[in-house]
């Protein structure tokens, strides 16, 4: 109970932020794995494979930098309260629903 008080004096704002952060942290690992795989294929399946050992750390840093905002953006969309909502979809959500 004291953990919630630290996040925002037991307000909805603090709890929502904590939930979003937890979802984003779990999601980050999966998004990072996908971007890492894409980057590894690009490095190893192109003429860049000769310099793969030198470029791999940069590729990892770039995929981390990309994965952080992507997972933060996706986290609220994975909350259970949004799955059966009749609220209008945002442009990004419409794009994602069209892809699936």
Convert the pLDDT of each residue in 1-38 to its tens digit. 444 444 444 455 555 557 889 899 999 999 999 999 99
Structure tokens at 51: 């310099």
Helix, coil or strand: residue 86: coil
d(CA 89, CA 86): 9
pLDDT for position 100: 63
The predicted structure's pLDDT at residue 96: 76
pLDDT 10s digits, 31-78: 999 999 999 999 999 998 899 999 999 999 999 999 999 999 999 888
Beta strands in 1-100 (DSSP E): none
CB 24 within 8 A of CB 75: yes
Q: How many CA atoms lie within 13 A of 23 on its CB side?
A: 17
Answer yes or no: is pLDDT of 85 > 80: no
pTM of the model: 0.65
């Amino acid at each position: 109970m004291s953990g919630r008080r630290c996040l925002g004096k037991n307000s909805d704002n603090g709890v929502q932020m904590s939930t979003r952060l937890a979802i984003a942290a779990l999601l980050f690992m999966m998004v990072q794995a996908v971007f890492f795989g894409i980057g590894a294929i690009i490095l190893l399946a192109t003429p860049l494979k000769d310099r793969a050992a030198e470029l791999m750390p940069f590729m990892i840093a770039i995929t981390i930098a990309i994965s952080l905002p992507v997972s933060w953006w996706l986290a609220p969309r994975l909350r259970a309260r949004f799955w059966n909502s009749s609220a209008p979809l945002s442009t990004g959500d419409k794009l994602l629903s069209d892809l699936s």
